[in-house]
Chain A
Amino acid sequence: MAMLTVENLEVYYGVIKALKGISFEVREGEVIALIGANGAGKTTILHTVTGLLPAKSGSISFCGEELTKTPAHKIVSMGMAHVPEGRRIFQELTVLDNLKLGAFTRRDKEEINESLEKVYQRFERLKERKSQIAGTLSGGEQQMLALGRALMSRPKIILMDEPSMGLSPLYVSEIFHIIQEISQAGTTVLLVEQNAKKALSIADRAYVLETGKIVLSGDAKELMKDDSVKKAYLGEG
């Protein structure tokens, strides 16, 4: 059964139609990649699914519940975490405060501490720097923090918006490695990426987005061989 199903989603910015009837689904345990050029509407999709933007029409169902009328703060407690584009960590707060805010919708202190330990295990650097003001972390560390913060809500599904943006090749590989680990630990992943090659290499399935419409979808390994994908997104052929 699909964990997240989006059907005929339409979203407007004023009079501009940014999403022109998007449908896709994410099944439990999958890693789904969403690729597309700048301005295709990837961020808009994630913002609408997480309740930050209103949908004009269409439906979004998550674990059997309709999300289009659910406020953002409730969606998080249903088990959906969002790593927004450009990291958006809390620059003026400490690393620890950032992580605690990731668990904002949870109440049990002991369980939160357990999650904190897990995040520290995965990102040792965050532990060393827990009292540091987050704005002074390096770009790569900030991305780690954004990921760790999202994990603090113990999500069923995690939506990531260009986690590799602006990172050096070494860090990019590390981030993708971590995404795979997160997936293996049982969290479903919806991944938006510019780095199509890397994204397709770790994804099960993928959707290709062009100016607000899905133009191609299928098995990630198959899409890697597709000529149009090669040309437009992999810089080959």
Chain B
Amino acid sequence: MKKVITKRNIMVALLVIAVYAALFFLVNMKVLNRHYRSLLAPVGINVILAVSLNLTVGFLGELNLGHGGFMSIGAYAGCLFTIYTDLPLAIQFPLALIIGGAVAAIFGILIGIPALRLQGDYLAIVTLAFGEIVRSVLTNMKVTGGAGGLKGIGKSTNYTIVYIVAIITILIISNLVKSRHGRGICSIRDNIIASESLGVNVIFHKLLAFVVAAFFAGMAGVLYGQNLGILKPDAFDFNKSIEILVMVVLGGMGNLTGSVIAAVVITLLPEILRGFSDYRMLAYAIVLITMMIWNANPRFAMVKNNVYSWLHRKRGNAR
């Protein structure tokens, strides 16, 4: 049996409560003005998106350029469900989350099965096309309200709910990557021939990482719709997918804490530095290119390796 009550888990639980208490204080004592309060939910939603995308891009090592597409599919599925059903909110809302996630996951399976069988950068191309196709379909469909957007969604979420869902997402994904299946996923990124020869079912594990990520992107989409009250296809364009990718790259591939921090920073930065938002996409491009050059630089890779092995050794000794 694995021990649940360890020192580490208690620390994590305390941290989670402390952060929430701080937010609660800031909101209720009116320390934050309305504008900043309205940013709390988007920050949490982006945390969910970045952490889940890291599973595909960082841990599995496959480039996914259509995370925004999965988000939008989930958002529309979940929000349409709340519009067309009449259930008590306590049942309807969790159901909507699950439906949004499940529909996104189904699309993940549909495009993952053909794309992940191939080696190479096919997934990047397929997901890129997928995101654009989803957007244009949503723009042209009647039920989704077309380009004008889907209106009349009950605003049934708040920062507390988003916070809880984000914590659950982080817990599930961090446990997944530490599990046996998670080791399988990381081994594929590292050396696909070796992992195959050790009995890792490569296609299954690729699909697992990809579909779990799509599921959480779908849930994030539902939260997004329920927070804004309106969905527009253009909110989930290529730029959104790139924005999430920048969070993952900036926070560090395969580093969940990094993704959380980067998601918070990148969501808040344009709001704090007014005028920056005009140059946002330019800044993202620069960040991506710099990180790529850095990562490809052997000297930087060495520094990184040293830091990692130092960290590992420290953790190893602590055990």
Contacts and interface: CB of A to CB of B under 8 A. Distances in A.
Interface size class of A (residues with CB under 8 A): 20 to 34
B196 A73 contact: yes
B196 A131 contact: no
A50 B191 CA distance: 16
Contacts of A97: 183, 186
A136 B309 contact: yes
A101 B188 CA distance: 11
Contacts of A50: 197
Interface string B191-205: 101111111111000
Nearest to B188: A90
Interface string B157-188: 00000000000000000000000100110110
A94 interface: yes
Contacts of A153: 198-199
Contact of A73 (B190, B201, B316): B201
A105 interface: yes
Given A104-B199, A130-B316, A132-B309, A89 B194 contact: yes
B295 interface: no
Given A73-B201, A130-B316, A132-B313, A101 B195 contact: yes
Given A133-B308, A135-B305, A76 B191 contact: no
Question: How would you classify the secondary structure of chain B's contact residues: helix, strand, loop or mixed?
Answer: helix
Interface in A27-53: 50, 52
A101 B312 contact: no
A148 interface: no
Contacts of A149: 198
Contacts of A135: 305
A129 to B, nearest CB: 9
Interface size class of B (residues with CB under 8 A): 20 to 34
A72 B188 CA distance: 14
A91 B194 CA distance: 11
Nearest to A134: B190
B59 to A, nearest CB: 11
Interface string A137-158: 0000000000001000100000
A24 B210 CA distance: 42
Contact of B199 (A77, A88, A93, A133): A77
A75 B198 CA distance: 9
B92 to A, nearest CB: 40
Interface in A51-94: 52, 71-77, 82, 84, 88-94
B307 to A, nearest CB: 10
A20 interface: no
Contacts of B313: 131-132
Contacts of B197: 50, 52, 72, 76, 82, 84, 88
A90 B199 CA distance: 14
Contact of A93 (B180, B187, B200, B202): B187
A94 B312 contact: yes
Given A73-B201, A97-B183, 11 more contacts: A75-B199, A84-B194, A88-B191, A88-B193, A90-B195, A97-B186, A101-B183, A104-B199, A131-B316, A132-B312, A133-B309
21 contacts: A52-B193, A71-B201, A72-B197, A77-B199, A82-B197, A84-B197, A88-B194, A90-B186, A90-B190, A93-B186, A97-B183, A100-B183, A101-B200, A102-B198, A104-B187, A104-B199, A131-B313, A131-B316, A133-B309, A136-B305, A136-B309
Interface pairs A-B: 3 shortest CB-CB = A76-B199, A131-B316, A105-B199
